[in-house]
Homo-oligomer: A and B are copies of this chain.
Amino acid sequence: MYFCFSKFSKNMLRTTTCGALTLQNLGENVTLCGWMQNSRDLGGMTFIDVRDRYGITQLVFNMNDNIALCEAARKLGREFVIKVSGVVVERSNKNLEIPTGEIEIKVTDLELLNASKVPPFMIEDKTDGGDDLRMKYRYLDLRRNPVRNNMVLRHKMAQAVRRYLDDLDFIEVETPVLIKSTPEGARDFVVPSRMNAGEFYALPQSPQTFKQLLMVSGFDRYFQIVKCFRDEDLRADRQPEFTQIDCEMSFIEQEDILNTFEGLIRKLFKEIRNYDLPEVPRMQYADAMRFYGSDKPDTRFEMRFVELNDIVKGKDFPVFDAAELIIGINAENCASYTRKQLDELTEFVKRPQIGATGLIYMRHNEDGSLKSSVDKFYSEEDLKQWSQRMETKPGDLVLLMAGNTDKVRKQLGELRLEMGSRLGFRDKDKFAALWVLDFPLLEWDEESGRYHAMHHPFTSPKPEDIAMLDTQPGEVRANAYDMVVNGTEIGGGSIRIHDRELQALMFKHLGFSKEEAQKQFGFLMEAFEFGAPPHGGIAFGFDRLCSIFAGLDTIRDVIAFPKNNSGRDVMIDTPSLIDDKQMQELKIKTVL
């Protein structure tokens, strides 16, 4: 993926870039700057590839023309920085893979701008550097085309997002980074205040309350591409600082948000990937759980769950008889799976991360016969019922799991994804988006023994469900929605509460005392008393969105300077100790 530097303005050190010259430029005198990618000595000739962000251009030096120049060229090491002038000539040995592959520069002047030590790994699309080395020398890793291209993609996406929202009269407003700590939700990073000793700022986990205040202010449509912070133990692919596309709208209903931001995502796919994303289907949270065992189903393939309780129970198979739910998926054209392959799948679901006790299967053989792993309990007639329910055809394989409803759905969801991968349904260049709607308002937290807000405490309940807040809080649905792409949640939001009484009621149900609610969110509840408009919004995980567009598995690769799993930047070596003087000024002490 090379870059078109169309508007390059000639400057003091160079007249063009290493990605620009073609047969159109034959005979021109040019000056280029860049890095020595590699060199080849062929008898009296030396060929050098010089590289910059825009491409690669071949330089040629001839012993017969200028011995000194040629010898200077031969002394250049990998990654030396040079400035060369010369004439554009046609290449005899053309490389049609790159835009500059039909020309070379017959060099008349060579200036060494900077030397380089031998880099610790190859600066090539496929490098020999291990992860640790590449993180320590991130500035060298960023020289590699695939890594830099991720940053270019991210840049293009950010500009495209802003253009789309600006066109719809959204206003980008910067909200503060030094804000107030709130114990609710994930852990805050805090910043000791020197001028207010003993007190702390917090870094925002999101600009949630500020964007709601902007709605109270009548900003009507707000957005921001903004850094957020969360001091969590880092699982794979979490970063302590991450970026959100944060948006809020007033005088709208859920439908307006869905339409506006579906438009954004489809536009991005078209503009960045030239991909025509169809209209985004919508699914209830409850259905997502029922059919895919996940609130973020990968809908690049179907393979929906089918419930079998009514036809498999009561046949003396103790596993099924004891189970709350028996569900299956039809893995089409997999009847030929070998014993070994089926054992692998059983091992897969038995892994501690998944935790199932076993897997039942039924082959619908090519000859039409049905064969299950529990033939002891089920007759051919029974299996025919299975086949009908699962809509199998000859050649298909049914995989069944049983257990507690929530657990077995999650487990079969994992197996479904595994089968999708095995069957090649999870192509990174194919995209399936989905709106998941009507999330529960609250979720039970085992640890604290109380309900937590599933989205956040500012999400509005469905009016028709408010009455259940006291009796069946877990059943109350929220005006909350997620957008899912390829099985990953890329964004989520809700219609907010804009009424002080309802907000106070929510805090009460979340276990806040009146005093706590007032201390932490009094300013917001007070704001609601001065004419807050109905409003709602959404936030997209920008790192995740970029990684999906780049076809990557991890967000780390779309972040210029990421931190490792211990929250360290190993390149600059931080966090680190600070001066005693600074600790004294801040009036804090470390207690290890």
Contact = CB atoms under 8 A, between A and B. Distances in A.
Contacts of A260: 9
A416 to B, nearest CB: 35
A33 interface: yes
Contacts of A140: 216-217, 530
Given A179-B574, A199-B577, A591 B590 contact: no
B199 A569 contact: no
A559 B176 CA distance: 9
Contacts of A569: 176, 178-180
A589 B192 CA distance: 11
A578 B190 contact: yes
A393 B190 CA distance: 64
B35 A218 contact: yes
Nearest to A169: B5
This chain: how many copies in the complex?
A: 2
A220 B152 CA distance: 12
A198 interface: yes
A159 interface: yes
B530 A117 contact: yes
Given A177-B241, A572-B523, A143 B197 contact: no
Interface centre among A5, A233, A531, by most chain B C-beta atoms within 10 angstroms, is A531
Q: Classify chain A: how many residues form its interface, as a range.
A: 35 or more
A139 B213 contact: yes
A221 to B, nearest CB: 8
A201 B530 contact: no
Contact of A567 (B137, B162, B195, B523): B195
Interface stretch (A375-383, A454-462, A473-481, A580-588): A580-588
A451 interface: no
Interface of A: 3, 5, 7-9, 11-14, 33-35, 51-54, 79-81, 83, 113-117, 119, 137-140, 142-143, 148, 151-152, 154-155, 158-159, 162, 166-169, 171-181, 183, 187-203, 209-210, 213-214, 216-220, 227, 229, 231, 233-234, 240-241, 243, 250-253, 255-256, 259-260, 498-499, 523, 527-534, 559-561, 563, 566-569, 571-579, 582, 585-592
Given A142-B213, A187-B582, A199-B576, 13 more contacts: A9-B259, A11-B251, A81-B533, A114-B498, A114-B528, A139-B217, A139-B530, A174-B559, A174-B560, A179-B572, A588-B588, A589-B590, A589-B591
- A-B pairs, top 4 by smallest CB distance, nearest first, are A116-B531, A142-B217, A199-B575, A180-B574
